[in-house]
């Protein structure tokens, strides 16, 4: 399952950037996932929860931002969000396009619980 390896990579990023003593404070990992990333968000969330269970990251959840496919047509100089998986310009039907967005698979932010919330 591809999503399991992506979830494992997210854990490696968390381990790299979150000090061990703050791991239990991780509340969310914000991701950007594009239409063309080849990731099923629901499967990724399930794999992440399986990996997090029983670890110091168990309180963490995934906050996924969906990034739609966006293309730029070199022939007519238009930018559009075509119906997938057709890679032609909806305006002029040219296939001479550049993908502007939709391939993202990024960890954007790791959100920690504010320590002041604990003392309230």
The predicted pLDDT at position 120 comes to: 47
List the domain boundaries for the chain.
2-68+101-113
Quote the strand ranges of 1-120, DSSP E.
26-34, 61-67, 70-73, 79-80, 97-101, 105-112
The predicted pLDDT at position 117 comes to: 53
Instruction: Please give the Cα distance from 29 to 109 (Å, whole number).
Output: 6
Secondary structure class of 46 (helix, strand, coil) = helix
Give the β-pairing of 61-67 and 26-34: parallel
The predicted pLDDT at position 86 comes to: 74
pLDDT digits (tens, 9 = 90+) for 46-99: 999 999 999 999 999 999 999 999 999 999 999 998 876 677 898 999 999 999
pLDDT digits (tens, 9 = 90+) for 24-51: 999 999 999 999 999 999 999 999 999 9
pLDDT at 118 > cutoff 70: no
The predicted pLDDT at position 115 comes to: 61
Domain 2-68+101-113 = CATH 3.30.559.10: no
């Amino acid at each position: 399952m591809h999503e399991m390896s992506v979830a494992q990579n997210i854990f490696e990023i968390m381990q790299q950037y979150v000090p061990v003593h703050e791991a239990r404070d991780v509340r969310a990992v914000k991701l950007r996932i594009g239409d063309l990333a080849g990731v099923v968000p629901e499967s990724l969330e399930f794999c992440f929860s399986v990996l997090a269970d029983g670890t110091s990251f168990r309180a963490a959840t995934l906050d996924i931002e969906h990034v739609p496919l966006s293309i730029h047509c070199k022939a007519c100089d238009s930018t559009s969000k075509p119906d997938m998986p057709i890679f032609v310009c909806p305006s002029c039907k040219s296939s001479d396009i550049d993908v502007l967005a939709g391939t993202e698979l990024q960890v954007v932010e790791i959100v920690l619980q504010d320590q002041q919330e604990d003392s309230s």
